[in-house]
Amino acid sequence: ETGVTQSPTHLIKTRGQQVTLRCSSQSGHNTVSWYQQALGQGPQFIFQYYREEENGRGNFPPRFSGLQFPNYSSELNVNALELEDSALYLCASSFGSFSGANVLTFGAGSRLTVL
Partner 1 sequence: GENVEQHPSTLSVQEGDSAVIKCTYSDSASNYFPWYKQELGKRPQLIIDIRSNVGEKKDQRIAVTLNKTAKHFSLHITETQPEDSAVYFCAAGSGGSYIPTFGRGTSLIVHP
Q: For binding to partner 1 (CB under 8 A), which residues are involved?
A: 4, 33, 35, 40-45, 48, 50, 55-56, 58, 90, 94, 96, 98-109
Identify which of residues 15 and 51 has a Cβ nearer to partner 1 in the complex.
Answer: 51
Whichever of 58 and 86 has its CB closer to partner 1, that residue is 58
Q: How far is the CB of 101 from partner 1 (least distance, A)?
A: 3
CA 27 vs CA 1, 40, 69, 72, 76: distances in Å? 6, 30, 14, 9, 20
Least CB distance from residue 103 to partner 1, whole Å?
6
Cβ-count burial 86-111 (b if 16+ within 10 Å, e if not): bbbbbbbbbebeeeeeeebebbebbe
